[in-house]
Amino acid sequence: MAQTPTPSPSSTAASIISITSVSGASSWSNTNTALGVVIYGGVAGLDTSCPTDGSTMCNNCVFSTTTPLACNQQRIYDNLYLTVTFTVTANVSGYVGFGYSNASGVKTRFSTGTSGQYVTKGNTTTVTAKWFELCQAIQGTTGTPYCSSTAISTTQSTPLYISIEATVPAQFATNVTQFTGYVLAPPTSTSPAPDLLTTVSPNSGTDSGIFKFYARAGDHEVAIESLGIQGPSCPATYTAARFFYVPDDGTGSAALFSSATYGAALSTDLPLGNDCTPSGDWTISGLNNDVGYFFNVSILDAAKNNFFLIDPSLIAAAGCGGTLAGSIVGAAADAACDFYATPSAVEALLPNNFNCFIATAAYGSAWAPAVVTLRKFRDQFLITNSLGRIFTKEYYKIGPHYAKIIRSHDWLRAAARFALTPVWGFAWLSLYYTPIGALLMLITILAFSIVSLRRYQRGQW
């Protein structure tokens, strides 16, 4: 016997249902109110190798030593079913409707999938629909495939609706909960190929991404520092930087750097904040000590699209040698390459952002003016060139040991401060007048002092 819906009182959209899970989407976010739900479908790369069963997400991120394509390990495609599970939280009952806004802004019921079931307060149920209807509604054309990176612009969205009504099919007239469905494609310059960040133009250009970084080794971990940000702004849809890494197998393989690319077995996602700057601690942990690792980085957006891998020419420019199939390995890379690091059991006395071990021990605080100056000098002048990186890495190995000794004796701390004073002075002058300018000024002061001393000894003053 058919059930007769009971009258349903007017309810706010946020209180009618609670969406508890979403499958068949690249990602989704939920703040436990229906209005806070956002569903993302990513369409980076080609869909020619995607499954056709309608239930399996597409992973088109494939390892390649040639020019990589933008990709998504959870890509949507036309025949994939989007499934939304929800619980009725309001005192309402009726038949479930599932729909979207068409190109004219009219609420339209999905013609594919499942809906129409009868629910009451406390019931949990699901609605489904195929992504091609959502993609077609968003991009407003009839061309296929609808969910392609060429048909979808960078970020497009449409309202989605779940209703509980007295009639079937749904009219979306009462008890309607609205949320949002996004379909995201990478920037147009990456669709579908090539997909490499090839230029070095800080805070300018058309493509926003990361074109350089410094991998600093720690104990079973590597800290990512000194980012170079390309592009005029960081789109709000950029959520993380995905770092790919492969261990140095010691064989001198020419493909090791190329292995740190889409489809690589090892990767870590580190969150991005405003302007593509790090949000939180950027540390890749769980690494093996005394093993070298090759690193590369790409951008990840809210729909898990993966794009803008650093171009091999930029890797070579960082002192790593070779091209995408370059052969720089082992000690040579360890000494000269920003994108290579070898974790080791070094006693970490300070957080990753500091590491001015001896200076901090001498002055008693990581924020003492002299320590701050020396740290800025390190970031601007030492780790930006191969000789400076070699010096910095050697200092990280021996600095903690001597800092521990200095911290234990007040007289050693005083002696260390006295010895560091000219170093601090040189670093301060370098920050304002460049190292060459600072060196010339110090030479001038020294020469003037020597001449003055000699004149004084001869009684000329």
- The answer to whether 161 touches 178, Cβ cutoff 8 Å, is yes
pLDDT classification of 352: cutoffs 50, 70, 90: very low
Q: State residue 456's pLDDT score.
A: 67
Residue 3 lies in a domain: no
Average pLDDT for the chain: 76
Q: State residue 99's pLDDT score.
A: 93
Place of tokens 């001869």: 458
SS percent in the chain: helix, strand, coil, step 5: 30, 30, 45
Has residue 119 got a pLDDT over 90?
yes
Regarding whether 329 and 364 lie in a shared domain, the answer is: no
In this structure, what are the phi and psi dihedrals at residue 397, rounded to the nearest 5 degrees? -80, -40
Q: State residue 307's pLDDT score.
A: 84
Regarding whether 32 and 172 lie in a shared domain, the answer is: yes
- The answer to whether 207 touches 233, Cβ cutoff 8 Å, is no
pTM flag (> 0.85):
no
Regarding whether 181 and 208 lie in a shared domain, the answer is: no
pLDDT classification of 196: cutoffs 50, 70, 90: low
Domain of residue 71 covers 13-190
Residue 404 lies in a domain: yes
Regarding whether 398 and 318 lie in a shared domain, the answer is: no
Domain termination site, one of 190, 216, 232 = 190
Q: State residue 461's pLDDT score.
A: 59
Share above pLDDT 90 across residues of the chain, in percent, rounded to a whole number: 17
Residue 202, both tokens: 């800080």
434-445, pLDDT tens digit by residue? Answer: 888 878 887 887
Higher pLDDT, 248 or 313: 248
Residue 137, both tokens: 């509604």
Has residue 10 got a pLDDT over 60?
no
Q: Where are the beta strands (DSSP E) in 122-202?
A: 124-130, 155-165, 176-184, 196-197
Nearest Cα neighbor of 96 from 4, 170, 178 is: 170
- Mean pLDDT value of segment 96-121: 89
- Mean pLDDT value of segment 87-99: 94
- The answer to whether 63 touches 118, Cβ cutoff 8 Å, is no
Compute the distance between CA of residue 226 and CA of residue 62 in angstroms, rounded to an integer.
29
- The answer to whether 165 touches 119, Cβ cutoff 8 Å, is no
Query: In this predicted structure, which of 29-38, 156-165, 366-375, 391-400 has the lowest mean pLDDT?
Result: 29-38
Residue 268 lies in a domain: yes
Domain termination site, one of 294, 322, 345 = 345
Compute the distance between CA of residue 11 and CA of residue 29 in angstroms, rounded to an integer.
23
Compute the distance between CA of residue 66 and CA of residue 259 in angstroms, rounded to an integer.
10
Cα first-last separation, the chain: 117
- The answer to whether 447 touches 439, Cβ cutoff 8 Å, is no
Domain count, the chain: 3
Domain termination site, one of 125, 160, 190 = 190
pLDDT classification of 93: cutoffs 50, 70, 90: very high
Higher pLDDT, 352 or 413: 413
- Mean pLDDT value of segment 256-273: 74
